[in-house]
Amino acid sequence: MNNNVTYYSDGNGNWTKVIWTEQCPNQDVFGHECQGVKGHKGNHWQYKPDGSYHYWMNKDNPDAIEKGTAMGTVPPTHESYIEPKIKKTEYYMEFYRTEEVTDPEIISQLEKNNPPEKGAAIDRPLSENERKELGY
């Protein structure tokens, strides 16, 4: 699966390919996914929908967490809260490269909603018909 590739269209036949760094595949016991890059050091972590910083032990770096602690959640109001701007340098979505797509065969595939890589995403503006269907 190649879910770290996204193709973006401007709606005028121009396409850009974005290759994202792989996300850490680790999950805590409740299924929360780590938001770090694959192979990162320190605790596994994520920001929950309420803004809380949630972290859990990284078995590859067990000294990064307080002894006797398996996981924890810190609300934004707590003094030990880690601001997202601090973790931004470790966030997997911050690391990517872009390429202009110029190959006519690949563009033709993309225009048919068929990305060349299995699991790659396509992001394009809505067509006029799609807008009408949605009431825009």
Instruction: Give yes or no for a contact between 134 and 127, defined as CB atoms under 8 angstroms apart.
Output: no
In the chain, domain spans: 1-21+95-136, 24-92
State if pTM tops 0.85: no
Phi/psi class of residue 54: alpha, beta or left (left: φ > 0; alpha: ψ in -120 to 50)?
A: beta
pLDDT score recorded for residue 103: 97
pLDDT in tens, 104-125: 999 999 999 999 999 899 999 9
